[in-house]
Structure 1
């Protein structure tokens, strides 16, 4: 059997995991998926994922790909692997893709959504699913701050200090902040993200809403490339990967 390149569409709740990436001494989504897949295709499997989601971060949509010589039909793979996975990881589709396809390298754009539960009292159903923030936030001020991030910029001011990357320049296509009742959603789409970038962007918008600086000051903060000038990195439990864009029909 010739080797096939299989793309998997999946979703997961990240609370129990140390992020996507395989790690030596912590349980990850990739390791859990690879172990399940290896029992289905009867050989060791290495998955390439669409991005390195942090510990505790979720994915409503995620793409991973792996290579196999197994002849199992693609429509059987989700059913077979899901019986070997914990309930918080679900494979929803498998597609045979061209040899050159790579879940991260072939990804054109990504969207993350950060959810804030903004109410004086907490909500048990949002524990580890949204950031509980009891002080009222004005989403219109947050939106004015968010607008400053749109475009092509050096995002050094909103990334984890000390992380190696070829270039801190990224293009943000949109950053939309909406409120439905007590739930604030911050949706940001870019051609790529730096480590902790979305969580630091949201923290900066929250600081603007708190009056720590004017929302329009965010442009100057970005230009400064100074991480300490921006807002904090908000907790991981409110962050979700929500959309991915590919040329191939893997979604």
Structure 2
């Protein structure tokens, strides 16, 4: 009888070409597959909750795998073994059994991303923040962010030629917070399109620099045209910060 498990992990994306396996490139999925296959002594292929691009980080990412009859030790010990095997920039936070039809991608009910900007050169933020020393009107950027709640079609912020059935997303939170020399944008939605967060941030930056007014931001969304939006900001400032699921997916660890 097959059993399925969720893995909650964190990773620093600096040394990886994103999550998803690709030829001739090091990825987080490949590292996790290798670790699990070695520890469990059988081929394991994990499925992720989504894709992150090169250099993008995750403080809360979910993957799942299944195997016949489970493994001969508990989830806590598997977590320990994985952390000993994996590189220093990938951490396993939890492994737990779930219903056999549970899916890390399709069962997620919300995702939260953060984009981090540092206003000054800081050697400790090189890989985790985008340095932007321009004066930004954070109040105006927050006013523009509120406009996102009025829409569901975000074609203007989607990577072109993606294989999705709809560009509709329901945004539940979008706000900028400023603290000393750090600026953080947090956005939560039921789903996201490819490159959506980085494109939204890039466009909001144009508002903050005075290159676009609030009506212009609204027109960008309504145009459903990616070329009207701002340039996508670099990937290394982006984090998948939180992903949530229905509570009834989890099973007892036996």
TM-score grouping bracket, smaller chain normalisation: over 0.9
CA distance in 2 between counterparts of 1:153 and 1:232 reads 21
Q: What is the total number of aligned residue pairs between the two structures?
A: 247
**Unaligned 5+ runs, structure 2:** none
TM-score (norm 2): 0.94
1: CA distance, partners of 2:227 / 2:212: 13
Structure whose residues are more often helix by fraction? 2
Asked whether the 8 Å contact 1:8–1:94 carries over to 2, the reply is yes
State how 1:131-142 maps to structure 2 within 5 Å: 131-142=130-141
What displacement does 1:151 show?
A: 4.4
Deviation of residue 229 (structure 1)? 1.2
Residue 90 (structure 1) aligns with? 91
With normalisation by structure 1, the TM-score equals 0.95
Q: Is the 8 Å Cα contact of residues 148 and 216 (structure 1) preserved in structure 2?
A: no
Aligned to 1:38: 37
* C-alpha displacement of 1:217: 2.3
Shift of 1:138: 1.8
CA distance in 1, matches of 2:178, 2:72: 48
| Aligned equivalents of 2:144, 2:130: Cα separation in 1 | 19
**Residue of structure 1 in register with 2:166 after alignment:** 167
1:80-119 correspondence runs (5 A): 80-119=81-120
How far did residue 136 of structure 1 move?
1.6
On the 8 A contact 1:157/1:222 being kept in 2, the answer is: yes
State the match for 2:22 in structure 1.
Answer: 23
1:54-203 alignment runs, 5 A limit: 54-69=53-68, 70-119=71-120, 122-203=121-202
Superposition CA RMSD, Å: 1.2
Confirm whether residue 47 of structure 1 aligns to residue 46 of structure 2: yes
Unaligned runs of 5+ residues in structure 1 are: none
SS of residue in 1 equivalent to 2:152: strand
1:4 deviates by 1.3
Q: Which moved more, 1:132-141 or 1:186-195?
A: 132-141
